[in-house]
Amino acid sequence: MSDSRAGGPVQDPHRWWALVVIGLAQLMVVLDATIVNVALPSAQRDLEMSDANRQWVITAYTLAFGGLLLLGGRVADYVGRKRTFIIGLIGFGVASAIGGAAAGPGMLFGARALQGAFGALLAPSALSLLSTTFTDPRERGKAFGVFGAVAGSGAAIGLLLGGVLTEYLDWRWCLYVNIPIAAVAVLGALTLLHDRPGHAEARLDIPGVILGCGGLVALVYGVSEAEPRGWGDALVLALIGVSVLLLVLFVLWQRRARTPLLPLHIVKDRNRAGSFLTMGMATIGMFGVFLFLTYYMQGILGYSPLQTGLAYLPISGAIILGSTQISARLLPYVAPRLLMAPGMLMAAGGMLILTQLRVDSSYVSHLLPAELLLGLGLGLTFMPVISTATQGVAAHDSGVTSATVNTAQQVGGSIGTALLNTVATSITGNYIRDHPVEPRMRREMAREAVVHGFNQATWLAVGVMVLGALLAATLVTSKPLHHPSPSDETEEGAGVGRGE
């Protein structure tokens, strides 16, 4: 449908309110990956959870979420994005209520897995709705700036909110808080969101679901177990081997499937492939460093959960500033890679400062400048990554494309947390063995060893960020949104003809 005055597509008059609804849903999904981290010690004591099993509060969520994202994206394409979005919101809210009322560890683990499963429905449909709601280049930049800020800062906001709720209410409110958020988002979705019907006549690629989701579940489970067990553990190696086998078979099957779960042309496009890889590199570094900073602030500097959450505020603010005030304003006029690559290098610079942490480093001299650089860099990066990855996709593939963006973020975060923590722990152990001291000095030596391990592992995160910058600079070649090339205009016209 076209505007008779401008000759372009009619814009939804409620699209900016729709962005608020979509942003709320995305914030709920992202912050739930970290909000329970601060509350975990309290939940463990309350439910008499063993040290060996407590990791399942985190792993159950990431396993279901990361493993089922591709399926969730395809479901959104088949049954409709708005319908899938609402189902995901309701299911996420109900699962949160069950988790908050958990009477034992098993009930909490099951609720977290349910949260992840419904999150896998919710996240792709949210991004897909955003992509199809905002098509004007200038408005698309602003909308994706807000979405990128939410996606990037949600993890830090989760740490802050978890600290506040745990300290002043109870750990259960880290789950209950999702209920009012989901309720408001459902009401907003029913009144403000619009969507074309899904493609219910299409057949779901069942072998693709088994191979693709099975491979992702094995991968996320393997890297999650690598943190407590170590990368050389037989179970970890077996899971990663099974993951590689299943994902290779998945790619081979997608080449011949009539209705593939993930059409390969989506990942073959160099701009989208570059965006997916950049997102993965960014979250590998980001989530690993968030883990280090949390341990450093609480274990070394002696911060309380609330103080730790407040200490993350600058990084959240910097991500929002970078996304909404820099990237969003420049993307219509600047090639995406000219934002992605410098953003990744800026984030690497922030991590470089963190490699110089000492036992007695101050917040103002070390942590604050590192957070500001890291936040600005991630804000510059996330917004053009998400926009470029979802641009120019046919309507019937928008859900699975959005799912692939979220998969890159989720799998990258899981790998980063496990890999960097394993490296840090190993280096810490070696440092203690190589520096024997008198018993009265062991506590101070242990603190120095922990910080040394963090520093050395952060160097790996710096390298990952630099690699991400190189990938963005070499693979992403798309033009500024405001100045499309003739071929882009042709593709856009074809997209309109397809109903995009």
* Residue pLDDT, tens place only, 201-235: 556 778 888 888 888 888 878 877 776 777 788 99
Residue 11, pLDDT > 90, answer no
Residue 413, pLDDT > 60, answer yes
Predicted pLDDT of residue 481 = 63
User: Which one, of 467, 474, 475, lies nearest residue 345 by Cα?
Assistant: 467
* Residue pLDDT, tens place only, 195-204: 666 555 556 7
pTM of the model: 0.75
User: Which one, of 423, 419, 247, lies nearest residue 239 by Cα?
Assistant: 247
Judged by average pLDDT, the poorest of 5-19, 251-265, 378-392 is 5-19
More confident residue, 27 or 347: 347
Query: Residue 87: which pLDDT band, with cuts at 50, 70 and 90?
Result: very high
Judged by average pLDDT, the poorest of 25-29, 258-262, 482-486 is 482-486
Specify burial of residue 74 (Cβ count, 10 A radius: 0-12, 13-18, 19+).
Answer: buried
Predicted pLDDT of residue 2 = 38
Residue 186, pLDDT > 80, answer yes
- Three-state SS at 485: coil
Give the mean pLDDT of 362-379.
91
Judged by average pLDDT, the poorest of 53-57, 161-165, 379-383, 426-430 is 53-57
**Rounded to an integer, what is the distance from CA 192 to the centroid of its chain?**
25
Predicted pLDDT of residue 473 = 92
Side chain identity at residue 177, one-letter code: V
Residue 9 φ/ψ, nearest 5 degrees: -65, 140
Overall size of the chain counted in residues: 500
More confident residue, 366 or 9: 366
Predicted pLDDT of residue 497 = 35
Report the chain's mean pLDDT, rounded to a whole number.
Answer: 80
Predicted pLDDT of residue 4 = 38
Residue 5, pLDDT > 60, answer no
Give the mean pLDDT of 242-262.
87
Residue 487, pLDDT > 50, answer no
* Residue pLDDT, tens place only, 110-136: 999 899 899 888 888 887 787 777 767
Predicted pLDDT of residue 294 = 75
Distance CA 390, CA 266 (A): 10
Predicted pLDDT of residue 351 = 93
Predicted pLDDT of residue 292 = 77
Predicted pLDDT of residue 312 = 81
Residue 325 DSSP label: I
At 473, list the tokens: 């600079």
> In the block, which residue shows the tokens 């699209």?
15
> In the block, which residue shows the tokens 């200490």?
311
Query: Residue 48: which pLDDT band, with cuts at 50, 70 and 90?
Result: confident
Distance CA 45, CA 57 (A): 13
Residue 9 DSSP label: B
Give the mean pLDDT of 422-433.
82
Predicted pLDDT of residue 371 = 92
Residue 397 DSSP label: G
For the ranges 254-263, 302-311, 372-381, 391-400, the one whose mean pLDDT is highest? 372-381
Give the mean pLDDT of 472-487.
71
Predicted pLDDT of residue 425 = 80
Sequence-distant (≥ 6) Cβ neighbours of residue 35 within 8 angstroms: 158, 159, 161, 162, 165, 174, 177
- Three-state SS at 357: coil
Give the mean pLDDT of 269-292.
85
Residue 244, pLDDT > 70, answer yes
Residue 479 φ/ψ, nearest 5 degrees: -85, 170
Query: Residue 245: which pLDDT band, with cuts at 50, 70 and 90?
Result: very high
Sequence-distant (≥ 6) Cβ neighbours of residue 277 within 8 angstroms: 408, 468, 471, 475
